[in-house]
Amino acid sequence: MKLWNRNFTILVIGSFISALGSSAAGVAFGIMIFKETGSPLSLALFTIAHIIPRVVTSFLIGPFIDRNSRKKIIVTLDFTYTILFSIIAIILYQGFFNVAVFTAVGALFGVLDTIYQTAFMSMFPEVIPEGQHSKAYSISSLIWPVSAALMAPIAAFMITTFTFGTALLMAFNAITFFMTASMETTIKIEEKLNTSTVVKFQFTTDLKEGINYYKKEKGILGIGILFSAFAFVYAAHDLLRMPYFVNSERLGLEHFGIVLTLQHFSFLITASAVGRMIGGIIHYIFKYPVQKRFLIAVSVYFTVEILSATMLFLPYGFMIATSFIVGLLSVTSFNIRMSATQTYIPSTIRGRVNSTQSLLWNFGTILGCVLIGLIAEFSSFDYKYILLFVGLVTLSAIFMIPIRMKDEFKKIYNKDV
């Protein structure tokens, strides 16, 4: 069966449109918080406020998503985002900024984003024809990189050039969500939901089924713990890289003979995104040998973590090249993991398992934000040395989890999809 059926096409195009707005808004929010406060800890607290509600929501939302139309959830939330970002754009246009208010807004988006992402991950496999999952996830892996490559430099330019640049970016995001929601209403799909009879304390029963699945499937649990460790380190990179460039520009610090600026940082994002785009295209055209997928994934994990930890020690041109390579390889990790796990997990329990995976990753992100935010705020360590140190966390995790649990991982990763 062909991959580009009606439902898949609508979902991919709609997701790409909303990703354009979300990429711009995501860059704008982080820059706005740091430039207004000048504090990595404030940026960390903003991120934590976005994540903590995700932890609670991840724990509770799985059974609900398995029993209710994922399409309706997604469409409803896209229209909700339209309204919320329109309000934010108006508020920012009025010149209002309060770190506590926007931190609370971040918390609200944490709840909504968790529901949306869990519903989307659970529905996406349902629009993919049999045998096309590897190609489909290669397309999915292109959505955010392409949007980031296009929007990161534009967002940086808008913020640094126009007084109300951030407000305009939020208005643009509202428009993209409205367009996406309108398209998604036309999707026609028969969803495979949990239709077992609802009895007293059904929520608890559904939740226990999800937990018991992890007891049986040690490989799925291992993947969740591994990516929780990755989330710890990714949080550190998200927290310190942008301030590293902003501080360099503000203080006039030279890095191998040049002063790094916010625009330089935006091109770093673009380089990673272009790498992801090319990686996604490669995955779409070529299919890796099934029995080598686990070995490829572990090799990629090691390479990406070493390159990411050492990036800020390099001249800017080499930073760009390294960011490109990391993006290229990260798509390989994403494609192997997502195509394997989402076809391996039964549809009727997918929402609960995905929500638990999100719970584990969010714990890693919170720990990373708290610990690294405190170190950056109250120590004199150069940010690049902090990132070099935290890289040891993921390198240790790779040895302790997928390598030690290779048989459980191979059962999932070496699945023909």
Q: Average pLDDT, whole number, for the chain? A: 86
Average pLDDT over residues 185-208: 72
For residue 201, pLDDT over 60 is answered with no
Return all residues near 287 (Cβ < 8 A) that are at least 6 apart: 134
- Of 308, 298, 296, the closest CA to residue 234 belongs to 308
Tell me the two tokens of residue 88. 């934010």
The average pLDDT across 357-384 equals 87
Distance CA 394, CA 264 (A): 27
* Higher local confidence (pLDDT), 186 or 26: 186
Q: At what angle do helices 406-413 and 293-310 cross, to 10 degrees?
A: 110
The residues with which 259 forms a beta bridge, in sequence order, are 254
Stated pTM of the model: 0.71
- Count of other CB atoms within 10 angstroms of residue 231: 23
Cα dihedral value 202, 203, 209, 211, nearest 10:
-150
Contact 111, 80 (CB under 8 A): no
pLDDT at 199: 57
Instruction: Give the tens place of pLDDT for each residue, 229-286.
Output: 999 999 899 889 988 998 888 889 899 999 999 889 989 988 988 888 888 888 778 7
pLDDT band at 62 (very low <50, low <70, confident <90, very high): confident
Mean pLDDT in residue range 193-205: 64
Q: Answer whether residue 56 shows pLDDT above 80.
A: no
pLDDT of residue 176: 95
- What pLDDT, on the 0 to 100 scale, is given for residue 136? 85
Give the tens place of pLDDT for each residue, 283-319. Answer: 778 777 888 899 999 999 999 999 999 999 999 999 9
Sign of torsion, CA 70 72 74 80? negative
Residue 202 or 75, more confident: 75
Axis-axis angle for helices 383-398, 218-251 (nearest 10): 170
- For the chain, percent of residues with pLDDT exceeding 90: 35
**pLDDT at residue number 197:** 63
Q: What is the pLDDT of residues 329-370, one digit of tens each?
A: 988 888 888 888 888 888 778 877 877 777 788 889 889 988
Of 18-32, 296-310, 380-394, the one with minimum mean pLDDT is 18-32
Task: Using alpha carbons, select from 109, 253, 107 the residue that is nearest to residue 173.
Answer: 109
Determine which of 20-29, 302-311, 316-325 has the lowest per-residue pLDDT on average: 20-29
The pLDDT value recorded for residue 207 is 64
Binned at pLDDT 50, 70 and 90, residue 384 comes out as very high
Res 29: pLDDT:
81
Superfamily of domain 6-187+199-413: MFS general substrate transporter like domains (1.20.1250.20)
pLDDT at 106: 84
pLDDT digits (tens, 9 = 90+) for 126-160: 888 887 887 888 788 778 778 877 888 888 888 88
Q: Taking residues 7-21, report their average pLDDT.
A: 91
